């Protein structure tokens, strides 16, 4: 049974990869969009670094955002993804088509999303390599610790996305709530501004929220981490939020499914 399910997930990933590659113009548009976004972000930080060169170097901040983008792509936590498909399936009553199939729905949806994100994954690997060349890790042991943090980030991101998507069971305007969560995540995850540049009080509060797990913790572990208390604290918080979000997400999913009125079932 386990082998059958793994084969199903792998086939689902492959099918969605081929589907994505069937539209090369969309792949090109994705690359152009990412490069344009990164360019404007770096231009902004170039202007900031000229007046604050004693705080950080432009090369370091470029490496930070290259790795930050790579973390989002490699852990499938970027906004407007899995939860968007999730909400659409529930809103338009398409969930019933999945409930009658003998497959774990959440894993099947996640595998489909992973397949659709293959190009983004390749882009993320290139971005990660570029970030490593520009600003290598201060300690080689940070590399395996970074890989571990990526796994925890992917789990935490899946749990958070699941919680946001479940709102669609209770509100037809779940997209608005998702947008609010996306904006908060972009700010407090360190995706737009590294948390080290936040005021001390805000940075301390943000550290204990789940959002830094999605970007800032993995990037800082790679660039400055090692076998020290700070790194283990970040990994511990990442493990806590990964387990908590996934557990609560699955709990809420089971409750929502029990109350779901499946038309035609």
In the chain, where are the structural domains located?
2-258
Give the contacts of 18 (CB within 8 A, at least 6 positions apart): none
Task: pLDDT band for 4, please (50, 70, 90 cuts).
Answer: very low
Cα–Cα nearest to 76, from 88, 85, 64: 85
Q: Is 30 exposed, middle or buried (0-12, 13-18, 19+ CB in 10 A)?
A: middle
Cα 178 off chain centre by: 14
State what percent of residues in the chain have pLDDT above 90. Answer: 21
Residue 122 has pLDDT above 80, yes or no: yes
Residue 47 has pLDDT above 80, yes or no: no
Task: State mean pLDDT over 92-110.
Answer: 74
Q: Model pTM greater than 0.95?
A: no
User: Residue 94 gets which letter from DSSP?
Assistant: T
Residue 39 has pLDDT above 60, yes or no: yes
């Amino acid at each position: 049974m386990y082998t059958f399910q793994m084969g199903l997930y792998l086939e689902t990933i492959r099918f969605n990869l081929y589907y994505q590659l069937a539209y090369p113009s969309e792949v090109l548009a994705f690359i152009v969009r990412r490069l344009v976004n990164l360019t404007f972000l770096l231009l902004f930080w170039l202007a900031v670094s000229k007046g604050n060169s004693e705080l950080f170097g432009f090369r370091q901040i470029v490496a930070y955002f290259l790795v930050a983008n790579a973390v989002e792509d490699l852990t499938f936590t970027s906004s407007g993804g899995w939860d968007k498909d999730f909400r659409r399936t529930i809103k338009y009553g398409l969930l019933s088509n999945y409930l009658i199939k003998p497959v774990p729905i959440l894993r099947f949806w996640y595998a489909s999303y992973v397949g659709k994100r293959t190009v983004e994954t390749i882009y993320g690997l290139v971005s990660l390599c570029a970030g490593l060349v520009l600003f290598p890790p201060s300690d080689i042991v940070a590399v395996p610790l970074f890989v571990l943090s990526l796994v925890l980030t992917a789990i935490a991101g899946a749990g958070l996305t699941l919680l946001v998507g479940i709102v669609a069971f209770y509100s037809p305007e779940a997209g608005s709530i998702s947008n609010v969560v996306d904006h908060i995540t972009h700010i407090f995850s360190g995706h737009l501004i590294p948390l080290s540049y936040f005021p001390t009080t805000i940075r301390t509060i943000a550290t204990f929220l789940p959002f830094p797990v999605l970007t800032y913790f993995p990037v800082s572990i790679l660039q400055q981490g090692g076998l020290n208390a700070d790194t283990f604290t970040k990994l511990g918080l990442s493990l806590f939020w990964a387990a908590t979000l996934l557990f609560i997400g699955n709990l809420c999913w089971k409750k929502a499914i029990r109350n779901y009125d499946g038309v035609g079932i």
